[in-house]
Amino acid sequence: MKIGVCLKQVPATDSPLKVKDAVTGVDLAGVKMQINPYDEFALEEALKLKDAKVATTVIVYTVGSADADARLKDAVARGADELVRIEDAGLADADSLGLARALAAAAKADGVGLLLCGKQAIDSDNAQVPAMIAELLGWAQATECDKLELSGSSFKAWVAAGGGARDVLSGALPAVVSTDKGINSPRSPSIKGVMASKKAKVDVRDLAALGLSAAAVAPKVQLSAWGAPAPRPQGRILQGSAAQVAKELVGLLRSEAKVI
Amino acid sequence: MGNGILVIAEHEGGVFKKSAAELVAKAKALGLGPVTALVIGHAGGAELGGFGADAVLTVTGGDTSRYSVATYVSAIQAAIAAVNPAAVFASAGAQARDGMPRLAARLGLGVGADVTELRLDGGALVGRRPLYAGKALADVRVSSSPAVFTLRANAFGVPASTGAAAPVSALAVSVSGALTKVVDREAPTSSVVDLTEADRIVSGGRSVASKDGYDKLIRPLAGAIGATPGASRACVDAGFAPHSHQVGQTGKVVNPSLYIAMGISGQIQHLAGMRTSKIIVAVNKDATAPIFQHATYGIVADMFEVGPLLQAELQAALAG
Ligand SMILES: Cc1cc2nc3c(=O)[nH]c(=O)nc-3n(C[C@H](O)[C@H](O)[C@H](O)COP(=O)(O)OP(=O)(O)OC[C@H]3O[C@@H](n4cnc5c(N)ncnc54)[C@H](O)[C@@H]3O)c2cc1C
């Protein structure tokens, strides 16, 4: 079985981002990029299935420009086999549904039997693409999965059910599974993998190659008026013995902050 | 173009979540026409009238008693067909994150995710939402009809009920296309509300030093004020707390009125998950810890000393 992995590059989590202006949004010039942390779990799950000989080929998909290629090659260095990058001017302002249409078309064309995605990208924070792809392909879905078992063409997935509960889902492949923390510990690139990644080719596809028109991926969600979050009001440090500050704090929480 | 707002009102075994009242009240306050609450898996909901619902539609029977994506999508699709709303609101929690994108893809709708503000601008709904884990904010407009928005819990507030009752009617739905089956449900490890919905949170850092340290310092302190226990990633990665407790950029994004950080340094990834908390209390023995720059109230002390004293004071205050 071929397993697909959706992978996005995002700003490194420790980068202090600045909003450039209200129209452009966040200034990404010179910002260090990394693989979206949740996508690392998706990739690792696919690589584990390859180690277990369930997957024959791991294909990594991304939407974006050539500056994402370094992240794709990082995936090869860890053990991925094929790289697909979808790039088209029609996707420049794409919303989640547009991205899902492009990724669904690519995964379908490649005959992928299981598509793994991180549960959300930590830049746009939409958490929509995986379930949208599942619907577009008519596949089963498992959202925010932290344990996955495959047996033949069926799967069992442990997913968040709210309030800390987990539902155990069972279904048949093909499926889209979005991965959460806890499902595995992502591996680092191997030396052999790093060598292989130098020669790795990226298969670049545009909308026409996917059989899609720009109109089909036109966005219905628009972002504007970017700004920075308001700074928090200056706080204060309580002084005195442990017993005094404990008492003073509870008084403040009650009378000043009114939260207890 | 539709009229009014359809609100997905979530409940747990027939008891409405706080977010149900919160969303209904916000929908009403926007004044975009009638507010219809959709209740899946429970035959009631008249009390939502007290928060502004003009009508309640219920979907019951079959497999509706517990959440499944097929039921959720089928029910909302039927409700949209029945009331033709201009917008659909759902709480930005586990159900909507699973079901709403599937519905949106089926009907070709746009979803404005996780908004913390909503206003009307020239008759159109405009949300405002955090992006990049709260390092930036932007307005979000949705051009599909209906426009879908998911609303972050605790961002809008719940007014007092007027006591009004809304008319409740049953909506017939045929659930089709179930591709998965819920074969088991694992109960939550504690009975408190989920971090993402919690109004009070007490989190511990790696300096709790052991699972025992977490269980003896953080859990009882949280328990004293009905708070949900949380943790830093370092605390989770060390195995002192389950990963579902992690707050931060790669954990839960929380929005409580009170967040107490015990022995947490306040790294950027942790702040990303809790910076919108109304009141932040930090207890840390290092006066230069970055968390103090964000704390409303800071205590520079050993948390193992202050923690139990604070717990006793809180218990006394709440008892009195
Ligand atoms: C990709 C990525 C994603 C990440 N995502 C997250 C995330 O989602 N959430 C998250 O929390 N982190 C995340 N991190 C990790 C983050 O960078 C920090 O490492 C982590 O938050 C630190 O946890 P901590 O505050 O418990 O530990 P430390 O930074 O080690 O701080 C411990 C603090 O405890 C204090 N202390 C020690 N003993 C006591 C005592 N007896 N009494 C009082 N105070 C004491 C110390 O003064 C110190 O400030 C992420 C990192 C990366 C690279």
In sequence order, which residues have a C-beta less than 8 Å from that of residue A55 and are 6 or more positions away?
Answer: A1, A2, A3, A46, A49, A114
Nearest CA in chain A to B110: A220
pLDDT at A16: 86
| Closest chain A CA to residue B230 | A164
pLDDT digits (tens, 9 = 90+) for B253-262: 999 999 999 9
Cβ(B279)–Cβ(B297) below 8 Å: yes
CA-closest residue to ligand 1 atom 51? B269
Q: Looking at beta carbons, which residues of chain A come within 8 Å of B281?
A: 249, 253
Q: Give how far A225 is from chain B: nearest CA, Å.
A: 5
Mind telling me how many Å the CA of B30 is from chain A's nearest CA? 20
Residues of chain B neighbouring A233 (CB-CB closer than 8 A):
296
In this prediction, residue B192 has a pLDDT band, given cuts at 50, 70 and 90, of confident
Q: Say how many residues make up chain A.
A: 260
Q: Do B188 and A229 touch (CB under 8 A)?
A: no
Using an 8 Å Cβ cutoff, are B142 and B126 in contact? no
Check residue B176 and give its pLDDT: 80
Q: Domain B195-319 classified CATH 3.50.50.60?
A: no
Structural domains in chain A, CATH included, are 2-217 (3.40.50.620), 232-260 (no CATH)
What's the helix, strand, coil split of chain A in %, to 5? 30, 30, 40
Residue B161: what pLDDT? 98
Question: Which residues of chain B have a CB within 8 Å of the CB of A225?
Answer: 128, 138-139
Q: What is the pLDDT along chain A (260 residues), one digit of tens a residue?
A: 999 999 999 999 998 899 999 999 999 999 999 999 999 999 999 999 999 999 999 999 999 999 999 999 999 999 999 999 999 999 999 999 999 999 999 999 999 999 999 999 999 999 999 999 999 999 999 999 999 999 999 999 999 988 778 999 999 999 999 999 999 999 999 999 999 999 999 999 999 999 999 999 999 999 999 999 988 999 999 999 999 999 999 999 999 999 99
Residue A117 in contact with residue B157, Cβ under 8 Å? no
> What's domain B5-170's architecture?
3-Layer(aba) Sandwich (3.40)
| Local structure of residue B166 (DSSP, 8 states) | -
pLDDT (tens digit per residue) in B279-293? 999 999 999 999 999
* Out of A168, A228, A245, closest to residue B299 by CB: A245
Strand A2-6 relative to strand A82-86: parallel, antiparallel, unpaired? unpaired
Question: How many angstroms does the Cα of residue B230 sit away from the middle of ligand 1?
Answer: 12
The boundaries of every CATH 3.40.50.1220 domain in chain B are 195-319
Neighbours of A99 (CB within 10 A): 25
The SS3 call for residue A53 is: coil
Which of B203, B210, B214, B265 should be mutated for ligand 1, with most atoms under 8 A from CB?
A: B265
- Give the distance (Å) from ligand 1 centre to CA of residue B268: 9
Region B186-206 average pLDDT: 88
DSSP string, B215-226: IIIIHHHHHHTT
CA of B251 to the centre of ligand 1 (A): 13
Task: Give residue B265 CA to ligand 1 midpoint distance, Å.
Answer: 5
Average pLDDT in the B5-9 region?
98
Q: What is the pLDDT of residue B162?
A: 98
Per-residue model confidence (pLDDT) at position B38:
98
Residue A138 CB neighbour total at 10 angstroms = 10
**pLDDT at res. A237:** 98
pLDDT tens for B149-158 read 999 999 999 9
Interface contact flag, B183 A135, Cβ < 8 Å: no
Q: Is the pLDDT of residue B189 over 90?
A: no
Q: Are the C-beta atoms of B46 and B14 separated by less than 8 Å? A: no
* pLDDT single digits (tens) B66-105: 899 999 999 999 999 999 999 999 999 999 999 999 999 9
Nearest Cβ partner for A169 among B12, B182, B296: B182
Determine the pLDDT at residue B191. 73
pLDDT, residue B61, reads: 86
State phi, psi for B234 to the nearest 5 degrees.
-60, -35
Measure in Å the smallest separation between the Cα of A237 and chain B Cα atoms: 4
Residue of A129, A217, A221 to mutate for B, most B C-beta atoms under 10 A: A221
Contact B186 A38 (CB under 8 A): no
pLDDT recorded at residue A104: 98
For ligand 1, the distance from its centroid to the CA atom of residue B206, given in whole angstroms, is 6
Instruction: Determine, for residues B184 and A168 on separate chains, whether the beta-carbon distance falls below 8 Å.
Output: yes
Rounded to a whole number of angstroms, the distance from the CA of A199 to the nearest CA of chain B is: 32
Average pLDDT, chain B: 96
Task: Write down the pLDDT at residue B42.
Answer: 97
Kindly state the helix (H) or strand (E) to which residue B110 belongs, with its residue range: none
Of B292, B293, B31, nearest in space to B301 by CA: B292
pLDDT of residue B16: 97
> CB–CB of A136 and B301 under 8 A?
no
Close Cβ partners of A64 (under 8 Å, ≥ 6 residues apart): A8, A9, A85, A86, A87
Give residue B133's pLDDT: 87
The partner residue sitting opposite A226, judged by closest CB among B136, B294, B298, is B136
Q: Where in the sequence of chain B do the CATH 3.40.50.620 domains occur? A: 5-170
Vertex A37 angle, CA A31 and A43, to 5° = 125
Q: Nearest chain B residue to A10 by CA: give it.
A: B132
Q: Whose CA is nearest to atom 3 of ligand 1?
A: B250
**B150 to chain A: nearest residue by CA?**
A126
Q: ipTM score of the complex?
A: 0.96
C-alpha–C-alpha distance, residues B251 and B271, integer Å = 11
Closest CA relative to residue B74, chosen from B179, B177, B182, B175: B175
Beta strands in A119-248 (DSSP E): 140-151, 154-160, 166-172, 175-179, 202-205, 221-227, 236-238
* Closest to A182 measured CA to CA, from B115, B243, B222: B243
Residues of chain A with C-beta less than 8 angstroms from the C-beta of B105: 97, 100, 131-133, 135-136
